[in-house]
Amino acid sequence: MEERLNIQQKVLSENDRLAAEVRSRLHELRVLTLNLVSSPGSGKTSLLERTMRDIGNTVRIAVVAGDVQTENDARRITRAGGTVVRPIITNGKCHLDARMVLDVVANIDLHEADLLFIENVGNLVCPSSYDLGEDMKVVLISTTEGDDKPLKYPGMFRRSSAMVINKTDLLGLSDFDLQAVTRNALSINGRLHIMSLSCRTGDGLDNWYAWLRDRVDAKKRGEPVIDEHAG
Amino acid sequence: MHELSIAKSIVDSVLASVAERPSAAIASVHLRIGELTDIAADALEFGFSVLSRGTRLEHTTLRIESVPIVTRCNACRQTFTVEDYLFVCPACNSGDLHMLHGDELEIDHVILNEPDHPDTNHPRK
């Protein structure tokens, strides 16, 4: 006899539960948490190194650096002056999940931190499904990539709240069109906050730091860090 | 290839859900997957077939219902289906949209086949 058994359960409900735990811990500590996502090679680690060097003395920054293999990224950020930097090696997994982040967050002292970066594995597909308990996703794209990337990976750009365009010093050396990437990104997500910069020359970094400080301050005051309607 | 992780979650969840029905065969598992989830159906089916081997789900069919992206415009309140990932309101051109559907990644239901005489203690195939 055939019978229907209703389940109606989210596949990632366990991940979502753990992400909620991460979120509640970090919210209690008023630590702004950004999940940094991009393709491999867009410059996530470079951006974190540079940010740590430039504003690390006034904004207390912690970093959880995800990597498929090696602790190289975490080492680079530590060398740039990071004191609370922890690696997560996924051993081949293409994304971080909330359990990995919770394991780390539960074991570091974040009382002295203002800002936590979670550097995700370089991949624009898989990490988009996994909530890590962040306040928002920040997607990074560089001028050596195609300016149609937002159209190719709509899920990630839709779920992100900000987009950073890196390597502006190389504009003009490839066919990357700043206006086209902006138009493409906004067609996926009209509320995306877009910043462009170069970690190498420092161009545009002031804008990025001002944006970070605003968000850190809002978090400290217990105010929303992204627009209500985003997402 | 996060479909393997997703498939593992599906196998675990379904096995837990049917644990109280040990005599039933599980004919099919029905999923609802939103268009914005970046899940490749064939990769998910492959992962499911590999991970269900040796479990009660070994001969179970995976059925995937694709859920279109539906949003409501925060400016003019119009509700519409998003085509080709163009998140712009067709009525007022606003990009300020609230997603109602398209993010789903859910196990909706399973179809069980209970033997005709569930009271008799016969072995499960």
Residue A139's nearest CA partner among A59, A39, A72, A16 is A39
Interface of B with A in 37-66 (CB under 8 A): 37-39
Looking at per-residue confidence, does B29 or A67 come out higher? B29
Strand, helix or coil at A201? Answer: coil
Residue B118 predicted with pLDDT over 90: no
Q: Which residues of A touch B36 (CB under 8 A)?
A: 154-155, 158
The DSSP string of A139-181 is EEEETTS-TTHHHH-HHHHHHEEEEEEE-GGGTTSSS--HHHH
Rounded to the nearest angstrom, the minimum Cα separation between B74 and chain A is: 8
CB B47 within 8 A of CB B62: no
Interface check for A191 against chain B (CB to CB < 8 A): the answer is yes
Instruction: Find where tokens 């370089």 sit.
Output: A122
Contact B74 A1 (CB under 8 A): no
Q: Is A222 on the interface with B (CB under 8 A)?
A: no
Q: Which residue has the higher pLDDT, B117 or B108?
A: B108
A8 at interface of B, judged by CB pairs closer than 8 A? yes
In 3-state terms, what secondary structure has residue A97?
Answer: coil
Inter-chain touch A14–B9, beta carbons under 8 Å: yes
Choose among B31, B109, B116: nearest Cβ to A6. Answer: B109
What is the predicted pLDDT for the residue at A231?
41
Task: Supply the pLDDT for residue A229.
Answer: 45
**CB < 8 Å & 24+ apart, contacts of B70-78:** B70/B99, B70/B100, B70/B101, B70/B102, B71/B97, B71/B98, B71/B99, B71/B100, B71/B102, B72/B97, B72/B98, B72/B100, B73/B97, B73/B98, B74/A229, B74/B98
Strand B105-113 with A2-10, pairing: antiparallel
Average pLDDT over residues B32-43: 94
State the nearest Cα–Cα gap between A34 and chain B, in angstroms: 21
What pairing do the DSSP bridges indicate for beta strands A115-119 and A2-10?
unpaired
From the CA of A76, how many Å to the nearest CA of chain B?
Answer: 27
**What is the C-alpha to C-alpha distance for residues B97 and A156, in angstroms, rounded to an integer?**
16
Residue B90 near residue B46, CB atoms below 8 Å:
no
> Which residues in chain A land under pLDDT 50?
229-231
Give the pLDDT of residue A113.
Answer: 95
Query: Closest partner residue to B105 among A4, A11, A191, by Cβ?
Result: A11
Q: Please write the tens of the pLDDT for every residue from B48-78.
A: 999 999 999 999 999 999 999 999 999 999 9
- What is residue B91's DSSP assignment? T
Q: CB-based contact (8 Å) between A228 and chain B?
A: no
Q: Can you read off the two tokens belonging to residue A23?
A: 């979120």
Q: What distance in Å separates the CA atoms of residue A97 and residue A41, rounded to the nearest whole number? A: 21
Q: Do A190 and B37 touch (CB under 8 A)?
A: no
Looking at chain A, which runs of residues are DSSP E strands?
Answer: 2-10, 32-38, 61-67, 84-89, 115-119, 136-142, 160-166, 193-196
What is the structure's pLDDT at A226? 87
Helices (H) and strands (E) in chain B, counts: 2, 6
Three-state DSSP state, A124: coil
The partner residue sitting opposite B85, judged by closest CB among A94, A128, A188, is A188
User: What's the confidence (pLDDT) of residue A227?
Assistant: 61
Say whether A10 and B105 touch across the interface (CB within 8 A). Answer: yes
Region of residue A222 (phi > 0: left; psi between -120 and 50: alpha; otherwise: beta): left
Global pTM reads: 0.92
Q: Map residue B102 onto helix, strand or coil.
A: coil
Alpha carbons B68 and B65: distance in angstroms, whole number:
10
